[in-house]
Amino acid sequence: MFLIFLCLLCFLCSFLPAQQTLKVDVNLINVFATVKDDQGNFVTNLTKDDFRIFEDDRPQDVQIFEKQEKVESAIGILMDTSGSMVDIMPFMRRGIRDFTRALPKADEFFLVSFGTAVKLQHTSSQPQKHLEDSLAALRAYGTSSLFDGLLYSMEKVEKSERPRKALIVFTDGNDNGSNVSHGRIIEEIQISAVLLYFVAIGSPVLVDSHTLEPLSEISGGRTLYAPKQEAVSPVLDQIRTELAQQYYLAYYAPRRPGFHRLRVEVPGRNLRIRAKTGYTGE
């Protein structure tokens, strides 16, 4: 009897590491792709067979494919409340109210302010009045901790089970108060699957586009500019429409350290594709 038990124990011990190795050594790589034709119109009739994904120039087998309307989102909304945003606050408040009211009920969101400190202001599980009160109480003053806010919000949105994860960040791109470095943010973007959309309100001359545009491009998002004399809602409508028109593609890859370049193609068609440019393996 003891011999049978010992054999069974040895069998189980040899089996479990194989299962653990299988889980540890494989990554699911998520890619969201925005596809437009040469006139700037969204292309929404593509299938899994139309796409090709390359990692470090090697073709990958797309194992998950979903069209835009089927994918739920987790969205972090970030407000720069530093002193440079005094004239911008009313535009941000109005735009955020309009944007959150139009989100699908299946999506979740949260609001974070970053100025002298980073603070979670609201989550979608709280009443709309709480959001209104939180927005009304915000004041612009002090320094900007943009990178601290980005890191906090990326870590928070990554905890969501919703496949699509995005941050919409109202800022002029200036950071003069963060503990987190610019290089750390680039690393986090490459590790994560979070899309970054920056909304810069006001004169483009006052915006640090050299910081914002590369960060959004790495993630597969983009940077949008809105003059102060115009409503912010149309710019946010562009983001909401784009999120609703994306394709979700994913494949399994061995865990390998270092940066890995990604390229998404639709062979045989003259299309413009925007997607994450790479990821950093652990």
For the chain, helix, strand, coil in percent to 5 are 35, 30, 35
pLDDT at 281: 85
The dihedral sign for the CA sequence 57, 59, 63, 66: positive
pLDDT at 174: 94
The CB-side HSE value for 279 (13 A sphere, CA atoms) comes to 24
CB 203 within 8 A of CB 173: no
Q: Which helix (H) or strand (E) holds 76?
A: strand 73-80
Q: Token pair of 3, please?
A: 């011999």
pLDDT at 69: 67
Q: What stretches in the chain show pLDDT beneath 70?
A: 1-24, 68-69, 229-230
Q: Of 120, 123, 78, which is closest to residue 96 (Cα–Cα)?
A: 78
pLDDT at 228: 80
DSSP string, 173-229: S--SS-SS-HHHHHHHHHHS-EEEEEEEES-GGGS-HHHHHHHHHHHT-EEEEE-TT
pLDDT at 21: 35
Q: Of 182, 166, 175, which is closest to residue 236 (Cα–Cα)?
A: 166
Q: Token pair of 132, please?
A: 């209104």
